[in-house]
Amino acid sequence: MVFSIADSLSLTRAFKVIEFNARFGDPETQVVLARLESPLAPLLYAAATEMLDSVEAPRFSDQCALTVVLASEGYPENPITGREIEGLDSLPDDPHVSIAHAATAWDGSDLLATGGRVMSVIATGPTFATARESAYATLESITLEGSHYRRDIALRVAS
């Protein structure tokens, strides 16, 4: 069905394959959805009903987008779970940043890590440098004992 979307788009556009088999929880999908300007639901419905040729082609912003995954200590082999996640209530006020929870649970009083890939910080901006700065500023505000994240996301393109 992805080919139906591509077929319905103008042939003057250049396509780049990001990844095959990207799921909604994957960072590769999160950056694409962060740039999507047209409504997602009609596209999903059209794909599910084999009617992609009946909907407008998706519209994407020109913004740069990136995702940085916050992982539990021990990830990927043996992630430590049950630790409290703090700082989400005092994140920098940035409308270009969102958090996607992956392995979190609310126990009634605390937010806890329940797996390896705990959450993603998704940031957009006019440049990769701007988006990167926003994402990492947000990550610095989140506390999870023993957690780690890659520090090289978009580093080459932001320099």
Distance of CA 41 to the CA centre of its chain: 18
The pair of structure tokens assigned to 90 is 């005092």
Degrees to nearest 5, angle at CA 66 with 91 and 120: 50
User: What's the rounded Cα separation, in Å, for the pair 25 and 120?
Assistant: 9
Q: Which residue spans of the chain are classified as CATH 3.90.600.10?
A: 64-158
Is residue 71 classed as helix, strand or coil in its secondary structure?
Answer: strand
Count of beta carbons in the 10 Å neighbourhood of residue 107: 10
CATH number of 64-158: 3.90.600.10
Phi and psi for 157 in degrees, rounded to 5? -85, -15
* pLDDT (tens place) for every residue of the chain, 159 residues total: 344 344 444 444 566 666 667 788 788 889 999 999 999 999 999 999 999 999 999 999 999 999 999 999 999 999 999 999 999 999 999 999 999 999 999 999 999 999 999 999 999 999 999 999 999 999 999 999 999 999 999 999 987
Prediction pTM value: 0.83
